[in-house]
């Protein structure tokens, strides 16, 4: 991961959004483009965030990225046809996306469930009442055992 970040920085050294692009690239690699399309969509300047939110009738939170090619990008988190918040960093938008699942007690999409629960529990320390898959339990048990043994 450190090597990938360094390569990205070298390739995009003049780009202020290097870390954002790297985070999104890593998320695409972890989840796959099809899965990511369930939570993240990119829009053009001519798209109106309010109209996009209203068309997003899904009860699940979505992250919308709006750019005009100049200035700061805008990330919006939509929930049930409403704009929840506007942010300028993808990492913050992803955090709000995770928090909104927790706050509204929503299930994650099947394809992203294990990854999202891991972030929720281990990165943000938010407990989850959701049912976990056996692969998730196996991985997290191994992580906890390793962490306990290294102390």
* Cβ 63 vs Cβ 77: under 8 Å: yes
Host H or E run for residue 49: helix 49-55
pLDDT-based confidence at residue 68 (cuts at 50, 70, 90): low
Q: By residue range, what is the domain housing residue 108?
A: 2-150
DSSP conformational letter for 121: I
86-126 pLDDT tens trace: 998 888 888 899 888 888 888 888 888 888 888 888 878 88
How many domains are there within the chain? 1
Using CA atoms, how far residue 39 sits from 6, 8, 61, 85, 108, in Å, is 27, 24, 7, 15, 10
Separation of alpha carbons 21 and 81, rounded Å = 27
């Amino acid at each position: 991961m450190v090597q990938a970040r360094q390569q990205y920085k070298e390739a995009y050294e003049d780009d202020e959004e290097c870390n954002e692009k790297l985070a999104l690239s890593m998320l695409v690699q972890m989840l796959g483009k099809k899965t990511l399309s369930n939570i993240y969509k990119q829009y053009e300047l001519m798209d109106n965030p309010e109209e996009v939110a209203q068309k997003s009738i899904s009860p699940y939170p979505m992250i919308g990225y709006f750019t005009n090619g100049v200035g700061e990008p805008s990330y919006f988190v939509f929930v049930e046809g409403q704009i929840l918040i506007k942010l300028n960093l993808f990492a913050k938008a992803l955090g709000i996306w995770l928090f909104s699942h927790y706050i509204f007690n929503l299930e994650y999409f099947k394809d992203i469930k294990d990854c999202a629960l891991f972030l929720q529990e281990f990165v943000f320390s938010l407990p989850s009442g959701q049912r976990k898959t056996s692969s998730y339990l196996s991985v997290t048990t191994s992580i906890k055992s390793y962490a306990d043994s290294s102390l």
